[in-house]
Structure 1
Amino acid sequence: MSNEFEAFATTPTLTLEPFPQEKQAVVQPAPEKEAEALDDSILTEEEKKAVDAFVNQIDLTNSSVILQYGAGTQKKMADFSESALENVKTKDLGEVGDLLSDVVRELKDFDEEEEKGFLGIFKKTSNKITAMKAKYAKAETNINQIVKVLENHQVQLLKDVAILDKMYEVNLTYFKELSMYILAGKKKLQQVRNEKLPELLQKAQQTGLPEDAQAAKDLDSMCNRFEKKIHDLELTRTICIQTAPQIRLVQGNDTLMVEKIQSTVVNTIPLWKSQMVLALGVEHSAQAAAAQREVTDMTNELLKRNAEKLKIATIETAKESERGIVDIETLKTTNESLISTLDEVMKIQQDGRQKRQEAEREMQRLEGELKQKLLQVQA
């Protein structure tokens, strides 16, 4: 592609040959009567002189000249447009965009595999450093492969940007060339219609010969055909004008992709790697802090347990040391039990005494009844 547009000329030239294959003829300046002022502000002084010289070479009485006028430039424009189209068609900026997305996806998958963010990886108690290094190595391998492809695309895009500059230069050359053809044609058309055609019309009126009238009519027809040819060239020039911003748009897209690739390679990936180093350092510190925290927690727990045990032992010892041989509660209970026993004994004794008295009275009654009965029998 680097030599693809070398065949297109970058200097505007004018020729009456239809499709020049060799070196194009250079028109020589020739003095001529100036035509009515036309817009030639885009041309240099040398190009203006070349236009004025080329006007004298145009023969509107020659049908082939009219037919082939500017055809060479139109053919080169067609070839140029085809080459430009092929250059655009062979680009696949979508692939570059997909590769950039792949880089982001790799970084995102690594960052979110355990938890959101690098610090989320530190929330599990397993051996995270080994897992992090393994994931980092895998992600780095994938990213490095993508970066190689991106760098190749970057080199190609930089070449394309340079080629598009060449394309823009060639397109500008054709624009000037078409403008020179149009300017020269309009000048020639003015000359013929203002000078040659009135002469033929006057001659035909004077002679009254049909051939003179036909000659005037033929020249007028040629002028009309030539005017249409100039209009066709103006249409081609319009296409040339529209091609310029299109080239710049494609070039802008290429430049944007180059910048994105450059930013990814130079900024994003090194930043990710530095964050990975920091993440590993943070994990080491976190593990050390966790170990120290466990030791501190265990020490505090042991101190609390020992203090509690010491408290309990001290209190029990103090209680036992202050305690008498027999508890007052025990004496109280024993005394109450003894009193209750004595009360029971006294009640039993009283009940026994009362029963004996009742028994004695009963025996006396029985004895009296027996005596009485015995007396009754003796009588």
Structure 2
Amino acid sequence: MHNRNVSPLMDNSREMLSEEAVNDIQLAMRNEPEVQQLARSIDEHDIIRILEYGKEPAVEISRLSDQIIAVMRTYNVKGFGQLHTQLGRVMDRFDKKDFEKNSGGLISKLFKKREKMLDRLYSKYQSIGIEMEQVYVKISEYQNEMAETATMLEQLYEQNIQYYLLLEKFVVAGEMKLNELKTNKLPKLEQNALNGNQIDSMELDYLRNAIELLEHRILDLGMAKIVALQTAPQIRLLQRGNAKLIGKINSTFITTIPIFKNGLIRAVAAKKQKLAAESMKELDRRTNELMVQKVRNMAGQSIEAACLSGCPEIKIETIQECFNIILKGMQEAKIIEEENKRLREEGEQRLKELQKNFHNSKQK
């Protein structure tokens, strides 16, 4: 039972063990040799052993809750907000008009300021490409960290279930021993004490004290077991939120950003070729009239080549679509991150309350 996979017994609506499943586990444990041996190992004459009964799994459950809270706090520090804001600033610099056809007077303007315009356009989108690459690297690193943490959370979840099952063993064994003491030994000592046997009276007082301590210890272990049960859905909620964000990062940013960036590079190159071709056309028109016929043949070939090279492999509409996808993904990722933050805060507060109640019950 310690290694048993309890996932099929989970209540899917709440990600917790259902009451029926818990009862099935308890009944199954009563027939296990390990649990029966554990019940026999409880010595009602050893008060110290009773007080420390089931101490190890109870302590581990408390430590596990601290680890989960630490993970939640780590996520608050490594939030997606800063990357989201940085990417938003980069995206705001993109202007579709930079790649659209210019208004009248283009040739004359290009002829005079072609180099300056090309340098400015190239510099702008080279800078955007570099900044986007930096954001892309950070987002990829963030995704990898989240994936590693998801693996760690899954390990914590499995440990939590295993500690719960171990606690259940101690509780079931304790209840079996308690039932034996109350059913077999206690009535005999009570009968002997009524007959005036002083030794039996002293033994009866000692046994009653042991029974009371064992009942209290079983109650403490039951509280630790509840902490384990209620910790499981908190882990699952955190995993679900992280999975949604990882999926959104992968589909919107990891996939779309490289396409968008490459589209920008090709669009700038195509724009540069187009402007150069149009400038060359203007220069060709001004060529000496004596060379007109020869130049026309050369110009025809140059214009044809310029037209072919001036058509970008990726249309501006494709770049615009990628731009819109990234913006939409940023909005959706922000919503998911805010929901994750709320779930983490609620989960952390809930675990703190459970730990506080657990410690308070131990003090009583």
Whether TM-score is above 0.5 comes out as: yes
The residue that corresponds to 1:315 in the other structure is none
Q: TM-score when scaled to structure 2?
A: 0.60
Number of residue pairs matched by the alignment? 256
1:226 Cα offset (Å)? 1.1
Distance 2:30 2:273 in 1: 76
Report the equivalent of 2:133: 144
Question: Shift in Å at residue 49 of structure 1?
Answer: 2.8
Q: Whole-Å Cα distance in 1 between the matches of residues 215 and 87 of structure 2?
A: 59
Assess, with a 3 A threshold, how the Cα gap between structure 1 residues 289 and 42 changes in structure 2: closer, same or farther: farther
> Residue in 1 aligned with 2:88?
104
Taking structure 1 as the reference length, the TM-score comes to 0.58
- Deviation, structure 1 residue 68: 0.4
- After superposition, residues 1-379 of structure 1 pair within 5 angstroms as 39-41=23-25, 48-92=32-76, 94-109=78-93, 111-112=94-95, 122=102, 127=114, 128-205=117-194, 207-263=195-251, 264-274=253-263, 277-278=266-267, 281=270
Cα displacement string for residues 109-138 of structure 1 (whole angstroms, at most 9, x for unaligned residues): 2x24xxx66557956966544322211110
Task: Give me the whole-angstrom Cα distance separating, in 1, the residues matched to 2:71 and 2:133.
Answer: 29
Counterpart amino acid of residue 50 in structure 2:
I
* CA distance in 2 between partners of 1:249 and 1:121 (Å): 51
Residues 42 and 106 (structure 1 numbering): CA distance in 2 closer, same or farther, change over 3 Å?
farther
After TM superposition, give the deviation of residue 239 of structure 1 in Å.
0.8
* Greater relative CO (CA pairs within 8 A, separation 6+): 2
Q: Distance in 2 between matches of 1:47 and 1:260?
A: 48
Q: CA deviation at 1:61?
A: 2.7
Bigger proportion of residues as helix = 2
Which one-letter code corresponds to 2:244 in the other structure? L
Letter of the 1:208 counterpart: G
Q: CA deviation at 1:148?
A: 2.0
The CA deviation at 1:194 is 1.1
Alpha carbons of structure 1 residues 107 and 280: separation in structure 2 relative to 1, 3 Å:
farther
Amino acid at match of 2:179: Q
CA–CA distance in structure 1, aligned partners of residues 199 and 255 of structure 2:
81
Aligned to 1:4: none
The residue number in structure 1 matching 2:337 is: none
Q: CA deviation at 1:157?
A: 2.0
Check conservation: 1:100, 1:261, Cα contact below 8 A. Answer: no
Cα distance in 2 for partners of 1:164, 1:44 equals 28
Q: Secondary structure in 2 aligned to 1:271? A: helix
Q: 1:153 is aligned with what amino acid?
A: Y
Structure 2 contact 121–268 (Cα < 8 Å) conserved: no
Q: Distance in 2 between matches of 1:162 and 1:121?
A: 51
Structure 1: gaps (5+ residues): 1-9, 13-37, 294-379
CA RMSD of aligned residues (A): 3.5
Q: Secondary structure at the match of 2:186?
A: helix
Look at both structures and tell me which one has the larger radius of gyration over its CA atoms: 1
Superposed displacement of residue 97, structure 1: 3.0
CA distance in 2, matches of 1:118, 1:67: 77
Give the AA of the match of 1:68: E
Q: Give the distance between the partners of 1:209 and 1:121, measured in 2 at CA.
A: 111
Q: CA deviation at 1:243?
A: 1.4
Q: Secondary structure at the match of 1:90?
A: helix
Show CA shifts across 1:193-250 (max 9, x none).
Answer: 1111111111112x31233223223212321221111111111111111211222233
Quick check: 1:96–1:257 contact (8 Å CA) kept in 2? Answer: no
How far has the Cα of 1:146 moved from its partner? 2.1
- Structure 1 pair 219–51 and aligned structure 2 pair: CA distance change class (3 A): same
